[in-house]
Amino acid sequence: MINLDYLKNLNSAQKEAVIHTDGPLLIVAGAGSGKTRVLTSRIAHIIKEKKAFPNQILSVTFTNKAAKEMQNRVSKIIKNDATGLSWLGTFHSICAKLLRRHAAAVGLNSNFTIVDTDDQVRLIKNICKSENIDVKKLAPKAILTVIDRWKNKGYYPSEVIINKKDIYEKIILPLYKVYQKKLLDLNACDFGDLILHCVNILEKNSDISNIYTNNFKYILVDEYQDTNFIQSKWLNLLATKYKNICCVGDDDQSIYSWRGAEIKNFLDFDKIYKNTKIIRLEENYRSSQNILSVASNLIANNQKRVGKTLKTTLAEGDLVKLSCFRNGKDEAIGLSDEIEKNLRNKFSLNNITILVRAIFQTREFEERFLKIGLPYRIIGGIKFYERAEVKDCIAYLRLIYQNKDDLAFERIINNPKRSIGESTVKQIHEFSKKNSLGLESSSKKLIELNLIKPKAKIGLKSFLNFIEKWRTDLNIKKVNHVKLLQIVLDESGYSVMLKNKKDLKNENRLENIKELLSAMKEFDNLENFLEHVALATSIDQEWNGEKINLMTMHASKGLEFDVVFLPGWEEGLFPHQKSIEEKGENGLEEERRLAYVGITRAKKIAYISFAMNRFYQGDWIDSLASRFIEELPDKYVEKKTFYDEKDNQKNDFEFNQDFESDEGKRSPGWIRYQKRIK
């Protein structure tokens, strides 16, 4: 039985998107405009109007969560018929289903294995070993990142054209060839292969292609702005007959280019599919008008976009609050005080979030929340002092400070790799237990007795000598605790290990270590710092009840909150300098889209803030307010400076203040800015 009310609660644009069923359709769905409702209603309409049977509808999402939600919503409308939607799922799940049916076409058996990341890394390690490639200099995950990028572009090894500017691609291509052969030998494929193989099958086997092009009368795609080349090509191949392809998305929320997403797919949709109808969903059901006006004015500065203007029937609401702080620490204090004094009694903490550009930014907020007892959670990440690289650094410092810290010893004995395997560690443990000695003392005794295997002995002896040397640095030479960690990181090889692993995760790890060094400067000595860490990590991190949310802007996509804080809007941090350096204007536009995503997460109140100075990588640096702040419309923004001007009259700061010098007008952070652009 069909629920006939599914069209009643739709606005005119939503209704038009649902009932337009002939030819290609691009639905430009603004933030909070009800795109999921439109997609599910459209599926129901196609079935109700007998345009197609449920199994003739291909509906593709990016996540299992989105697929399940869509399935549930359709079920409420069309009841039992929803079970017939056998082709509703993620790109990978649908391609896996298709590939199992036609595995032989690409040299696989239907019972092939889909390898996970750990399996991939292990396979690459073995290949590197056989090809005499040092995994310390070229990390397996970095190799896999390049291979995945090639697969996203639709390239098998024989089709890759090496980028001559990339010194690694020349090394990686032969490994890619071996890797693909190994996968075939193992009757296996990785996630990239699922789509790549399906495209290959459809392109080279007309009989198979005809089965699916004839079957799929309607194709629906969610979050189309996040598709990569190979996903778009797969969809294009399946839509060749009926061309009833409907793609929903928001070009202003395309923020995943680093994962291979190509906004070009969205912007060129009407060029790929002739006679495309474009429908804009511009009515927002989430945010107040002032929040939408700020977001719309900001994103209007982007050139590469389809274009839309969000509006709402909700009240104008509060002006977006723009705040300037003296430094990053004051920013954390100011925002937490605002939560404690003005927001906590009005909103659930669960509905308050702080969105940062880079994960290391959470540290100052975590420190402050722990100090004043504000419960919090990290969404899509790990709390600062629980991050592996931070715990590694602290373990080194703990062992240097206290030679009986067996837990710290065990954590870092082979980190980075020193040829000290599990059997050697077990041997040390057994000797320790038998002789009632600590692990460090046991290690020294085993070396003295010549009971350790030669290779492991060299690594262990080197490690112990370094520990003694660093203790001398600390206790005899009185090396500052911050400098000590820098020495440890360099001499242990830990820094080199991270720097040699060229991927986003390791860049984040390096940023976290730099932030740790900044945190250490706030303490007089190593003892005080280690005590602080111990107390911070011992506090019950699983507070019952409500918690403030801390996450990156990337992790916030698809979520909404009553109150959103957006700190750290400074040049170099946001927009992020690396993004601009690597991608130029495209990178800047993606950063602006990220700002748009951040602002549009807010339903009722949005706070944007920046600091005049920030403690970064162990040094105080002048900050230049983000260029995005200049793009915020004054009409919808309330400006506030959070410091007492009487404290330092000479350094009074206004939002648009310039300083005079012999060379003309200079803004805060000018020297830093100049260094960056040269």
Strand positions, DSSP E, 130-251: 188-189, 218-221, 245-249
Cβ-based neighbours of 116, under 8 Å, separated by 6 or more: none
Dist. CA 31–CA 249, nearest whole Å: 9
Alpha-carbon torsion (650, 656, 660, 661), positive or negative: positive
Closest by alpha carbon to 497, among 384, 418, 592?
418
Residue 449's Cα: distance from chain center in Å? 50
Report the DSSP pairing between strands 619-622 and 602-616: antiparallel
Q: What is the DSSP letter of 334?
A: H
Helical residues (DSSP H) of 79-114, grouped into ranges: 91-101
Dist. CA 123–CA 576, nearest whole Å: 34
Exposed/middle/buried for 663, CB within 10 Å: 0-12, 13-18, 19+?
exposed
Q: CB of 296 within 8 A of CB of 310? A: yes
Active site residue 537: no
Three-state secondary-structure class, residue 355: strand
- Which tokens hold the place of 219? 């194709």
- Which tokens hold the place of 348? 């659930």
Dist. CA 459–CA 462, nearest whole Å: 5
Q: What is the DSSP letter of 10?
A: -
Single-letter amino acid, residue 318: D
Dist. CA 264–CA 225, nearest whole Å: 8
φ, ψ for residue 181, nearest 5 deg: -65, -40
φ, ψ for residue 320, nearest 5 deg: -70, 130
Closest by alpha carbon to 564, among 608, 630, 625, 627?
608
Q: What is the DSSP letter of 351?
A: G
Angle in degrees, CA 123, 125, 126, rounded to 5: 65
Active site residue 253: yes
Dist. CA 128–CA 135, nearest whole Å: 7
Dist. CA 88–CA 119, nearest whole Å: 28
Catalytic annotation, pick one of 377, 411, 601, 614: 601
Active site residue 120: no
Closest by alpha carbon to 600, among 297, 164, 219, 272?
297
Closest by alpha carbon to 171, among 119, 179, 507?
179
Q: What is the DSSP letter of 261?
A: -
Single-letter amino acid, residue 549: N
Dist. CA 309–CA 281, nearest whole Å: 9
Catalytic annotation, pick one of 36, 213, 537, 541: 36
Catalytic annotation, pick one of 223, 473, 571, 589: 223
Residue identified by tokens 């790549």 is 196
Cβ-based neighbours of 147, under 8 Å, separated by 6 or more: 172, 175, 176, 179, 192
Three-state secondary-structure class, residue 160: coil
**R_g of the chain computed on alpha carbons:** 28
| H or E, element range at 467 | helix 454-475
Dist. CA 492–CA 481, nearest whole Å: 16
Active site residue 222: yes
Active site residue 227: no
Dist. CA 587–CA 585, nearest whole Å: 5
558: left (phi over 0), alpha (psi -120 to 50) or beta: left
**Distance between start and end Cα atoms, the chain:** 67
Active site residue 392: no
Task: Indicate which residues carry an active-site annotation.
Answer: 35-36, 222-223, 253, 601
